[in-house]
Amino acid sequence: MRRLSVFLGTVAFLHSAQFIAGADPPPVPVPPVDPGCAATVAAAPGDVPGPDDTPDSLERAHRFATGAGVRVAVIDTGVAPHPRLPPVIPGGDLVVLREHRPDAPPPPDGALDDCDAHGTIVAGILAARPSPDDGIVGVAPGVDLISIRQTSTRRATETVGAGGSLASLTDAVNLALDQGARVINVSLTSCLSPEAVGKVDTDAFDDALARAEELGVVVVAAAGNTGDRCPTGSVVLPAHRPTVISVSAIDTPHTVADYSVAGPGPLLSAPGRVPVALSPRGPGFVVGVAERSGTGVFEGTSFATPAVSGTAALLIELHPTDSAAGIRARIAGAVDPATGTVDPATVVTHVPADYRGIPHPVSVAAPIETPTGIRERSLSTVTILLAVVGVALIVRYAGSRRRRGRGRVGQ
């Protein structure tokens, strides 16, 4: 599996949204440590950005929108509740659990269980709420967050498989639609070789995507990370479907990460790595996952994806009647042409090119008609003046000729 990364915007929140006012949210209970779950590495105080270390893009974007009232479904490994997230709506659990070990603590309920430490990271990039104590905030901190657990490498039985299945992804999309999601974030991929594409029945999955399009729901998915399971040239589902926004990762402000799988659609991307993320194990922050070789950082197209999903939520708050195609067009029309980078502030303030071609009604007042008598007197006056000037010129010319004639006789 590609090492993980998170795009957590580090920005002070300036918009006066409802969730900032009022009392602090109730503390989130810390689940018992499960030795079977992914071990995370806690952030040191120096790892957490301060309130002044804030990207200008999110600061400016949040002056216009925060995603308030927009429902976003995160189809992933589950989202653990965190005091910096909005209350997580459990949208469904499609993971078949292994037999529970007697010595292990009981797992949280379904969609609120993130044993893999993946879905919570994604949710934090998208929807982390601000705090005056640090500079961490999500791209759309005002959204309503739905968690649907579709896969797990730590909880699932062998029959489900590490990457879930296309059937469970289809069910997850339909669950999100049933619960009123306007944006669906899929930071998971199913990679097929070109030869295998025709052998896989995708009818039900394509029907779910068509339903999303009909309902005006924007589906955003990871472009995929190249590797043994997803070699170059693979067809990636759902990213390579025409109604899905495929998100690549950038590793510098000017370059697309070489691990991003190229797609058939327009190039859209977001930062693929960030040093600190919300913890799936409690109220703090984490910098990675503990591995035998050291700390595995959060990096990949999985975590570029929620940055674009959050941007879509900002647009939907501003343009609630836009179709899914309209939101996709607004995003694609405002990206960096070299890297496809989606900058939230640029997107929410961008005026689409076709707006300039829309005819706008212009009212021009008709000239005031001059009364007939005044117009005739004006013409008479002009005629007289022209005649006087003409006579004066003739007299001057005749006098000049007489003077020249007298000069020649005297000589």
Annotated catalytic residues are 76, 118, 302
Q: Helices (H) and strands (E) in the chain — how many of each?
A: 9, 14
| φ, ψ of residue 285 in degrees (nearest 5) | -125, 160
Tell me whether strands 277-278 and 144-149 are parallel, antiparallel or unpaired.
unpaired
**Residue in 154, 163, 160 with CA at minimum distance from that of residue 191:** 163
Amino acid type, 264: P
* Nearest to 303, CA basis, from 339, 346, 274, 332: 274
| Neighbour count for residue 322 (Cβ, 10 Å) | 16
**Burial letters 193-230, b for 16+ CB under 10 A, else e:** eeeeeeeeebeebeebbeebbeebbbbbbbbbbbeeeb
Reduced to 3 states (helix: H, G, I; strand: E, B; else coil), residue 225 is strand
The torsion defined by the Cα of 281, 282, 288 and 289, in degrees rounded to 10, comes to -20
Paired with 186 in beta bridges are 75, 221
- Residues 79 and 145 sit within 8 Å (Cβ to Cβ): yes
Question: What values do phi and psi take at 349, rounded to 5?
Answer: -105, 0
The answer to whether residues 145 and 123 touch, using CB atoms and an 8 Å cutoff, is yes
Q: What is the DSSP string of 68-115?
A: TT-EEEEEES-----TTSPPEEEEEE-PPBPPPPTTSPPPPPGGG--T
Per-residue burial over 55-64, b if 16 or more Cβ lie within 10 Å, else e, is bebbbbbbee
CA distance 125 to 298: 12
Residue 163 token pair:
């990457």
Structure tokens belonging to residue 390: 């003409």
